[in-house]
Amino acid sequence: MSEVAQAEVAPAEVAPAEDPTTLHGCPLDARPGAVVVHCNRDDYLPLMTALKDDGYELPVGVTGVDYLTHPGRDLPAAIIPERFEVVVELLSLEHRRRIRVRCQIPAEDPATPTLFDLWPGTEAHERETYDMFGIRFDGHPDLSRILMPEDWEGHPLRKDYDTGHIPVQFKEAPK
């Protein structure tokens, strides 16, 4: 990892012995213009709590990704690829840093803890991710649909969601 990338993610208090390829025990992927930390679902809340303590005070967004049709994506060896991913973008205004967290979410139980207790501003983002992808955020104060009607069936941004169709009836062409 380049010195620039290390400086972007390293909080002022990081011990010099910390592995530069991980952040709080999770694999770190520093590319030009982006610093990404990957985690499995069990590490999600501890990682996010540590990032909050590191000074990341502003969650820019929380969203989901469905990798149903792209199972062979590039992930660090310690990360188990799952169908879904929760992606969180965080900013530290004080330290002028940005970081992206990519958390793997299994299809059999698409759920992860809410970030609402750490950053209340994530409430609407998590609701939208639930509504569009069906990923639940355990402990969320109001996990209900935000874009689709309450009685809507399914989650429109899932790759296996049937888009359906409306038959089009054309008038007969004049003779």
Every domain of the chain and the residues it spans: 3-138
CA distance 28 to 44: 14
pLDDT of residue 141: 96
For residue 128, which amino acid is it? E
Give the right CATH number for 3-138 from 3.90.400.10, 3.30.460.80, 3.30.420.40, 3.50.50.60: 3.30.460.80
For residue 110, which amino acid is it? P
Structure tokens that stand for 12 in this block = 């002022």
Structure tokens that stand for 150 in this block = 């309450």
| H helical segments located in 10-111 | 41-53
Tell me the Cα Rg of the chain. Answer: 20
Structure tokens that stand for 62 in this block = 């929380």
Look-up of token digits 């290390």: 6
pTM: predicted TM-score of the whole model, two decimal places: 0.82
Going by C-beta distance under 8 Å and a sequence separation of 6 or more, which residues neighbour residue 140? 114, 116, 123, 126, 127, 130
Task: Tell me how crowded residue 79 is: count the other CB atoms within 10 A of its CB.
Answer: 17
Three-state secondary-structure class, residue 159: coil
Structure tokens that stand for 109 in this block = 């139980």
pLDDT of residue 59: 97
For residue 144, which amino acid is it? S
Would you write out the chain's pLDDT as a tens digit for each of its 175 residues?
444 444 455 444 443 445 678 999 999 987 787 899 999 999 999 999 999 999 999 999 999 999 999 888 889 989 999 999 999 999 999 999 999 999 999 999 999 999 999 999 999 999 999 999 999 999 999 999 999 999 999 999 999 998 777 777 777 756 6
Look-up of token digits 């299994």: 106
pLDDT of residue 19: 65
pLDDT of residue 165: 72
